[in-house]
Amino acid sequence: MRLTVLGSGGFRRTPRPGCHCPVCEEMRDAGTQRLGCSLFLHDGNILFDTPEEIAAELESAGIHRIEHLFFTHWHPDHTLGARILEIMNTQWSERPEWRMAAVHRTDVHMPGPVYGEIMSRLGPFFEFWQHLGIAKVELMDAPVQAENVKVEAVVFKTMHRTMTHSTVYIVSSQSKKFVYAPCDITPFPKDDRVHGCDLMILQVGWHGPEMAERARNGPHYEISMDEIIEIAREYKPTKLVLTHIGDEVGMLRKDLETLEETYADLNLQFAHDGMVILI
Ligand SMILES: [Zn+2]
Ligand SMILES: [Zn+2]
């Protein structure tokens, strides 16, 4: 399978306008950026999540078709770019009654309770796009087969204070399998299907002084690097990639490099925008 990490940023892109923290300044100086968190699987043209910058991410990765769109959870940093369906799936028509003509329809999958949590907030938009014929929205209650790819969803209630549900996706094709769980993954669900995967893409954890500060302030729902490493040691993927890297976790380039060295036995790599992974 061939994957592109379209956006490796956290709940806010970095650098952030208005922010002069060391992370944002380092990225500014280097001329790099991390846009909203999103993943594309080229096999089957499958997109996971739509951050606000998704159009730019798809354009720079040279992706021009989305057959399937899966959402992990309702949070705005993963859903507010859903208008990509209008941007990609319509053409300007001369029909006077309706100038936005559908040229393609994307199947949109929202697993279990995630369906209700998204539709109660963005329902009218998705109804409009269904009416246009550019989206078919489905409650995902069983694995989805797309060409040779099987997508399974493990939905669980997170510790996030919005009491939201989030999703761990398990994606397999022939003998290869990867797991995608980019945001709000505490408590990480126990599931035997997660074992033995070729690749696990998880959110980055808090680490160093930022983590110590959170721990000092009492209970928190944010995951730590220690917990991420525990998950990886339990499920033993061949390769571990961490994404959703916002400036709030305070990690500079050298911190990421140090962690990659420290956990070289786990084959840990931090994601970057446009990162291509082959498994
Ligand atoms: Zn910043
Ligand atoms: Zn997020």
pLDDT of residue 209: 81
Minimum-distance ligand to the CA of 18? 1
Query: What is the whole-number distance in angstroms between the Cα of residue 48 and the centre of ligand 2?
Result: 12
Query: What is the whole-number distance in angstroms between the Cα of residue 214 and the centre of ligand 2?
Result: 18
Query: What is the whole-number distance in angstroms between the Cα of residue 28 and the centre of ligand 1?
Result: 10
Question: What's the pLDDT band for 213 if we cut at 50, 70, 90?
Answer: confident
Query: What is the whole-number distance in angstroms between the Cα of residue 58 and the centre of ligand 2?
Result: 18
Burial category of 39 from C-beta neighbours within 10 Å (exposed 0-12, middle 13-18, buried 19 and up): buried
- Could you tell me which of 154, 153, 150, 200 has the C-alpha nearest to residue 175? 150
pLDDT in tens, 137-146: 999 999 999 9
Q: Mean pLDDT over all residues of the chain?
A: 94
Prediction pTM value: 0.96
Query: What is the whole-number distance in angstroms between the Cα of residue 25 and the centre of ligand 1?
Result: 7
Q: Tell me which of 67-76, 161-170, 250-259 is least confident.
A: 161-170
Segment 164-190 shows an average pLDDT of 95
Segment 187-214 shows an average pLDDT of 90
Q: Tell me which of 22-36, 148-162, 193-207, 236-250 is least confident.
A: 148-162
Name which residue leads in pLDDT, 224 or 214: 224
Query: What is the whole-number distance in angstroms between the Cα of residue 254 and the centre of ligand 1?
Result: 16
Q: Tell me which of 186-195, 196-205, 214-223, 262-271 is least confident.
A: 214-223
Does the pLDDT of residue 9 top 80, yes or no? Answer: yes
In single-letter form, the type of residue at position 33 comes to Q
Contacts of 35 (CB under 8 A, 6+ apart): 6, 7, 8, 9, 13, 51, 53, 56, 57, 273
Segment 200-226 shows an average pLDDT of 83
Segment 275-279 shows an average pLDDT of 98
Minimum-distance ligand to the CA of 19? 1
Cβ atoms 168, 191 nearer than 8 A: yes
pLDDT in tens, 94-109: 777 777 899 999 999 9
Query: What is the whole-number distance in angstroms between the Cα of residue 132 and the centre of ligand 1?
Result: 39
Segment 212-226 shows an average pLDDT of 78
Question: What's the pLDDT band for 212 if we cut at 50, 70, 90?
Answer: confident
Query: What is the whole-number distance in angstroms between the Cα of residue 83 and the centre of ligand 1?
Result: 27
Minimum-distance ligand to the CA of 246? 1
Q: If you search the block for the tokens 């998704």, which residue do you land on?
A: 54
The pair of structure tokens assigned to 80 is 């507010």
Question: What's the pLDDT band for 219 if we cut at 50, 70, 90?
Answer: low
Element (H, E) at 179: strand 176-181
Query: What is the whole-number distance in angstroms between the Cα of residue 152 and the centre of ligand 1?
Result: 35
Does the pLDDT of residue 211 top 80, yes or no? Answer: no
Q: 207-214 long-range contacts, Cβ below 8 Å, gap at least 24?
A: 207/249, 207/251, 207/255, 207/259, 208/250, 208/251, 208/255, 209/250, 210/248, 210/249, 210/250
Does the pLDDT of residue 220 top 90, yes or no? Answer: no
Does the pLDDT of residue 82 top 90, yes or no? Answer: yes
Domains in the chain and their CATH numbers? Answer: 2-278 (3.60.15.10)
Does the pLDDT of residue 160 top 80, yes or no? Answer: no
Minimum-distance ligand to the CA of 34? 1
